[in-house]
Amino acid sequence: MNLLVVGGGGREHAIVRSLKRNPAVQTIYAAPGNGGIAKDAVCVNIAATDIEKIVTFATDHAIDYAVVAPDDPLVLGCVDALEAAGIPCFGPRANAAIIEGSKAFSKDLMKKYGIPTASYEIFTELGAALDYLQTAPIPTVIKADGLALGKGVIIAQTREEAKAAVTDMMVNAKFGKSGSTVVIEEFLTGPEVSVLAFTDGKIVKPMVSSMDHKRAGDGDTGLNTGGMGTVAPNPYYTAEIADVCMKEIFLPTIAAMNAEGRTFKGCLYFGLMLTPNGPKVIEYNCRFGDPETQVVLPLLQSDLLTVMRACTDGTLAETEVKFADKHACCVITASAGYPESYQKGFAITMTDEAEAATYVAGAKLQDGKLVTSGGRVTGTTAIADSLEDAIKQAYALADGVQFERAYRRSDIGQRALAAHK
């Protein structure tokens, strides 16, 4: 089989490596891929959002199955276009990807179908938003409606911060068109849990839970990022809570999308907060999370391609989805200055041991050498019988990834460890 993976980050590298384990796979193409993915797949210089070129490439190269991983091409209808050309895909169509593409849509969906989430208001005019903030409870959460690379969420601790965030989004267009509509919502408290789930639009098979570390600095300080590291499973996500989530959130969400004529097939990501009043949805993503994928897929014992095709074909109920009873930790090595300005073009060196455990995100090949080209450069994952060992091993392996002005948090997994004690 010839496969095409659309995307070019650490998540896609993890997907490519998992797909390679299937003996029926001959060639995997990645569009655009990156300098690290090039060791595991044939990288094609086509942007993930260039839907027309992706479809032409897929038909010209007799692609048997495509995996569309990032949010942008999913929201733009990449799956619709590939399916129209006769190429089966993993991922939702555009009318279902809106669950991430518009926060206003997803909040209204949850309200309509009684799915637990934070209370909220939606604004399309600055004046009305600023008036609301005069009396809104503080802290409050400001979200850009559209896609913003995981950075369009501001937790405002004061009214001034809240007003500045709304003005930045709606007037200064900090997130472009994504911020022309804003959602202002209640600030929830409790442990956060990420649960990725396979779905064929009929049933849901959740993957192992994980814990992301969004802030740039140790102790969860600094700016929001795309994620600085992850551990799996998440110790706060007990079997009892998993049952509640399945009954009150996961299945009702799939049923709600079906009722709206927007059947969701693919990977649905549930960003949850375990509040004193039970689990609530903070956000949905219409795809594998990054860097959650880099701890979840290494723990998957079932064949990824088989599971993905079952989601496409509607046969997930008969397909085994099994995870190892172990712990995983992924440590991100980023460019100093991320998520704001940072320098690029530094040569990356990796020990053989580190390279085997590392998923490459922001790097490209230059004169045959791997150099930094993004904010989050690599993610290094270790698997062990205990969380403590997984964390130790991930950091030891990450030390084998070197480049100038490299930065990583030193406390990935410490919150999870504290929960174990």
Angle among Cα 409, 411, 412 to the nearest 5 degrees reads 85
Task: For the chain, give the percent of residues with pLDDT over 90.
Answer: 93
CA distance 387 to 193: 16
- Averaged pLDDT, 197-223: 96
The answer, yes or no, to whether residue 151 has pLDDT greater than 80, is no
Return the pLDDT at 74. Answer: 98
Q: Is residue 211 scored above 90 in pLDDT?
A: yes
84-127 per-position pLDDT tens digit: 999 999 999 999 999 999 999 999 999 999 999 999 999 999 99
Convert the pLDDT of each residue in 231-281 to its tens digit.
999 999 999 999 999 999 999 999 999 999 999 999 999 999 999 999 999
- Band (pLDDT 50/70/90 cuts) for residue 177 is confident
Q: In this predicted structure, what is the pLDDT of residue 92? A: 98
Residues 373-378, mean pLDDT to the nearest whole number: 98
Domains of the chain: 2-93 (3.40.50.20), 119-186 (3.30.1490.20), 192-318 (3.30.470.20), 327-420 (3.90.600.10)
Q: For strand 278-285 and strand 182-186, is the pairing parallel, antiparallel, or unpaired? A: unpaired
CA distance 31 to 404: 28
Contact indicator for 401, 333 with CB cutoff of 8 Å:
yes
Tell which residue, 288, 266, 229, 262, has the closest CA to residue 416: 229
What is the overall mean pLDDT for the chain? 96
Q: Is 341 exposed, middle or buried (0-12, 13-18, 19+ CB in 10 A)?
A: exposed
This prediction's pTM: 0.95
pLDDT given for residue 197 in this prediction: 98
pLDDT tens digits, residue range 45-91?
999 999 999 999 999 999 999 999 999 999 999 999 999 999 999 99
**Does residue 147 register a pLDDT over 90?**
no
Q: Which residues pair with 272 in a beta bridge?
A: 193, 281
